[in-house]
Structure 1
């Protein structure tokens, strides 16, 4: 009887695979194994919450008409990608001509004021006029310079280049049209005008969005406890974000808005898109992994942790999950690499080393 029991225990021990098994780099590549590095443990994963993809205010630009005029040509279309400095549209404007005329007149007055100051200085040096006349000439020149700088600033604000401003100030040719350029790269998200349309100064022409940095506005139930700096994951996307602030106001749906900055995968998102975010719940701690990273053997859950020789089958306990991600608790450490792809193939290799099922 005792011999039979010992034989049964020995047989079961032989069937149980060792935790660590060897996988060389060539096998790792041929199996197509994907790894994810553990960063920091996070709170328990809660139910998904809706979120809208937004841009910081400085990256969502409204291009408005710099002067009154008529749109003569539109050079871009909706959803077009534009580069910094690219021409967007052209305006024909009589107001622009008046602004240039004021600059030309200011340039002429400044030139006369400089000549007058030179003449007064010569006469003063010869003792013909008093010094007061020189001081008056200096004041007139300073006034003329200020007038010209003001006229130049108005044209520069309208988008006129420095070369054109210098030419007009020197009495050169006037332009009857103006080209509006993109101040930074981005996408055309809205186009509000068409050729032949008359616009007034400050009317909206188009809108540019630069997705260099993407934010999420997550709608959470009132009273949700989310700490600043907490990691968030998007459902079904390789995208993560960091919680920044929870708004104090409550919306009509009895929700609060959590603003989060996307730290990975911003290129996969589009401004205005609505996504689902797995928001951690308060209490508990663990490691967030894709559900595909966890496998089961004889009623227990495991993950494969990369070792120097291959992988170690590490037992874990699942404490929650939603939307393709799961929360696990176990003997895991930050910095370890966990297999998240081709886990079934690794399980077969692991069981093959020990003769499991």
Structure 2
């Protein structure tokens, strides 16, 4: 007769196999906790002897006070400040008679750049000559009227009318001189024209500041209109860096003003100026910095990599491998006379193989820098974590 409710043979074998696996797991955990670690007094402290540390490969690192550590790198564009760029434009309509410089030429302040032939220049000089002649006539009339009034021949009203006429003609002459000065004539040429000298049809455009010719926008014989850009001159002695940082970038710094940073691969140093308030389409912010050293190694428009500091005055710089996670908290293992104790820390910033943390730590303490996985397993077994 077959036996009712008897387990099939395959079911008993499977049960025995699963039971053996569970027993092996518990035995292994017991061996690790008893062979490597000794009972501890505190909930988060466990004993580890120097011999056990050597067998596990645990290395220590001493906490040292100090400033920030090297942080991550971000892309940046070299920008020429607006005050460092000069655009020489056409003051009048005319034809480019001659270019006196070439691209990438170094120029000094006052150096001739181009010759512009313009018929409007002759008209402006003619107006100055007329205004200067009328101004001289009004000045002589005023002098005569004052003399006649002093002799009692004419009333004072005529003197006042002569003064008003002289002031108007003098203002017209100043206006004509300003128009020629804006056209590019120097003061000596303007005085010569006002005194009745010859009229020129060509104006020489000069550089206002020293720099490097970055662009020639015209060619000889080309007709231009007023305000057309002719020559661009860049003074690269002062440069900016527009660094693109993530929106959530903090770096552990309280302010970006004066924040030191370096250009990767160059002996160039910059200082932070401001952090943009507008987020770009790539979800980044523009951190603007001014180059304080090594500007000659950069060129406007160039893309570089900039390394930012990641730490403030507070916190400690530790290896990334020394920080362990338990649930949603971070810990480091601090060396004690008996072994180690797990100390909770707050991660301020991280970059590469280092991380900046803050917590109940003191200078001179030693933390586990390697083989922290084995220490974490022992700590979890001691504290009852799964």
- TM-score normalised per structure 1: 0.68
**1:288-299 residue pairs with structure 2 within 5 A?**
none
Tell me: CA distance 1:148–1:44, structure 2 relative to 1, closer, same or farther (3 Å): same
**1:266-285 residue pairs with structure 2 within 5 A?**
266-282=295-311
Aligned Cα root-mean-square deviation (Å): 2.6
Find the counterpart in structure 2 of residue 196 from structure 1.
Answer: 221
- Pairing 1:72–2:102 present: no
Contact 2:67 2:311 in 1 (8 A): no
Find the counterpart in structure 1 of residue 275 from structure 2.
Answer: 246
Find the counterpart in structure 2 of residue 213 from structure 1.
Answer: 238
Query: SS of the counterpart of 2:245?
Result: strand
Tell me: CA distance 1:326–1:177, structure 2 relative to 1, closer, same or farther (3 Å): farther
1:87 to 86, 92, 112: 112
Contact 2:310 2:351 in 1 (8 A): no
Larger Rg: 2
Higher strand share: 1
Tell me: CA distance 1:195–1:41, structure 2 relative to 1, closer, same or farther (3 Å): farther
**1:1-357 residue pairs with structure 2 within 5 A?**
42-225=67-250, 227-228=255-256, 229-282=258-311
Contact 2:132 2:173 in 1 (8 A): yes
- TM-score normalised per structure 2: 0.63
Q: How far apart are residue 258 of structure 1 and its match?
A: 0.6
Tell me: CA distance 1:152–1:222, structure 2 relative to 1, closer, same or farther (3 Å): same
Find the counterpart in structure 2 of residue 14 from structure 1.
Answer: none
Q: How far apart are residue 119 of structure 1 and its match?
A: 1.9
Equivalents in 1 of 2:205, 2:194: separation in Å? 21
Contact 1:243 1:261 in 2 (8 A): yes
Per mean C-alpha deviation after superposition, the further-off stretch among 56-65 and 101-110 is 56-65
Tell me: CA distance 1:230–1:102, structure 2 relative to 1, closer, same or farther (3 Å): same
Which structure ranks higher in relative contact order (CA pairs < 8 Å, sequence separation ≥ 6)?
1
Query: SS of the counterpart of 2:68?
Result: strand
Equivalents in 1 of 2:273, 2:200: separation in Å? 48
Deviations 1:76-133 (A, max 9, x none): 1111111111111110011111111111100000011011112212222332221111
Equivalents in 2 of 1:285, 1:138: separation in Å? 78
Tell me: CA distance 1:190–1:326, structure 2 relative to 1, closer, same or farther (3 Å): farther
Tell me: CA distance 1:326–1:265, structure 2 relative to 1, closer, same or farther (3 Å): farther
Query: SS of the counterpart of 1:202?
Result: coil
Tell me: CA distance 1:286–1:240, structure 2 relative to 1, closer, same or farther (3 Å): farther
Instruction: Could you tell me which runs of 5 or more consecutive residues in structure 2 were left unpaired when the two chains were aligned.
Output: 1-64, 318-348, 357-362, 364-386
Tell me: CA distance 1:254–1:142, structure 2 relative to 1, closer, same or farther (3 Å): same
